[in-house]
Structure 1
Amino acid sequence: MQITITNAEQLKTKPDENQLGFGTIFTDHMFNMDYSVEKGWHNPRIEPYAPLVMDPSTMVLHYGQGVFEGLKAYRNDKGGVQLFRPQENFSRLNQSNRKLCIPEIDEAFALEALKQLLTVEKDWIPSAPGTSLYIRPTIIATDPFLGVRASFTYRFFIILSPVGAYYAEGFNPVKIMVTKEHVRAVRGGVGDTKTLGNYAASLLAGDLAHKAGYTQVLWLDGVEQKYVEEVGAMNIFFVIDDELVTPELSGSILPGITRDSVLALGRSWGMKVSERKISIDEVIDAHASGHLKEIFGSGTAAVISPVGELKYGDTVITVGDGQVGPLAHKFFQAIQDIQYGVIDAPQGWVEAV
């Protein structure tokens, strides 16, 4: 398919790169492509960023049939632009598509479309330290129909946003709170899928955590409410003695690309790395006995997020000395150095634009 390009007649004023927040500013152009049963995926185009016009009965608004991804473009010290493991994002998007009964996309074509969009918007990619261009590919059901079935039509779009740090704390320890009042997902559902309802399901518990002075919720499994799963916006890691532990992928945890990168780097460094069930009681006991060294999260938005405090019921623990731990710092530095081209990446991890 040939991608058509329509340039915006009037360009926006670029923001101050040193004052970027997260997810509030969007570039001049976006990518759009449509699907119908008769034509399949068709009409790929780059055009001015604009609102989507939808009928009030559009199915995504009523039944949540939509999926998305999140990745970033980075400007390296030579002025070039590169992506971090983008093939994995489009592969995961298709995994989400399959679970939501959405037609799969051509992953190689989607990556090429993204590269063309980034070429058009290259002046939006910031170069200030710690900044990047956040990329949000999304697919939504577009049939104007009230009734529970898979849609026959879809829109695939990609929007771009220059960003700074995800958390206001920056690369400093955050506080997380375990909830036993709410569950996010169970095995056999869509907890391992980047779909709309997963995030809607996390809002109430997240709001209660914020009101209690905590940054994020740490979710337990939805059946026994015993085993740690993930944090609202990231996967979770524990350092217990010399073991790096993260919950195993059980069907209700998002298979994070940064998570996978941490595991791969840890193994390459000769660390003892475990993907296994870990109960919240094991975490609390490891802290009480002095064996819990660090907790940190991983995700595209924050990369690595050290945890300085964890609350579980009436128990509040300070992790380490409440500061950034040495392993969290090592992983953060290594992944960022790869993303920004400071050091060589493992094969296949960096895609030049």
Structure 2
Amino acid sequence: MVDVVLGIAEDRVRLHADFGEFEWALGDELVEIARDPTGLHATDVIKSLDFDVSWQQRTEVGLRLHDAVFGAAPKGLWEGLQRDMSERDPLRVRLDIEPRALVALPWELMRDKRQALWRNSRVLLRRGRRVGGPGNDLREEGPLRVLLVVCNPRDPGLLADQELAMIGAALTELPGRVHTEVVDGPGLRELITEVGHVRPHVLHFIGHGMRAVAGDQGGLHFNAAQPDADSPAPAPERDSWTLGPDQMRHLYDVWKPRLVVLNVCRRPGDPAAELGGLVETCLDRGSSAVVAMQPDVDSPAVAEFSYALYRDLARSRPLDAAVTAARNHLHVLEPGGPSWALPVLHCGVGDPRDVARVAFGDMEPELTRMNRSWPFTDLTVFLGRD
């Protein structure tokens, strides 16, 4: 469900809640960025996610974002909305950003003087512009089906094996809840076939995202040749190709995954991928949500994020709560770094609980009790073993 919609226009902020609508002026800094066709005014804000930026600088950017959005709000409005919230009954906020120049900003850094808003488990924020229906029948029986796509299986820097192992470790805690299948370095035709065969609720990509040349639309590179001459070249039958918006549309002709995870990093020195086209394509074609990474996330952080995300999806936790918990997991591991702010949750349905919802024969808490008793506990010994 959506409790609050926080809309950001070129020079105004609009808050819609059940008890009324409110409007006030957007801060001058963001108005200037929204009206700047060159993008230069946004540079220092966007660069705050770079790894060589200090946490003090990122904190300062987060405070500036917060002040620009809430500085002119009616006194006590935002604080009052949060007053009686708890982790069991959180406030759910959809951030609807209209100007394209503002979409690119690292909103996940936004904070007040006490805490980062996007790591607050009592106030669950997500990005989104519309409310629609889930991609497929919510009455489907479990387990939750996940197709894990390794874009560049011969790239050791991707740490794909580590990410797959950590996802497997997360899922052994509650066996039988999530079914995973893995496809390594497929061509487009093979990928379409696998999507039609598995019919995944979650389509998860592990890869590098980058522009092929300046000005190109961003995409995911498959079976790309490695920059190191000593590393093995891709197998001859695995041609290099890019999954862009046009190619992504073909996947939706056979199946509409509810959730797409673009767990994408990039090598140092590669141009940043602009994955907005892929995100919009997934939502436009029927996915309920997309989780994508902002530039510069490194492979170890990607693997840790996946571990935390699937651990909570196995527990049937709502997607927005699972992403918030994963942010806090990354922050514990790297408190001074930006990794926790890099995941972006785009949600196109009213209730994030619907995104990964499947039905089991038993309800909670009985389902978890069964998972943690014999013979289910013994299954963890065999999971992942031939």
For normalisation by structure 1, the TM-score amounts to 0.26
Of Structure 1 and Structure 2, the greater strand share is in: 1
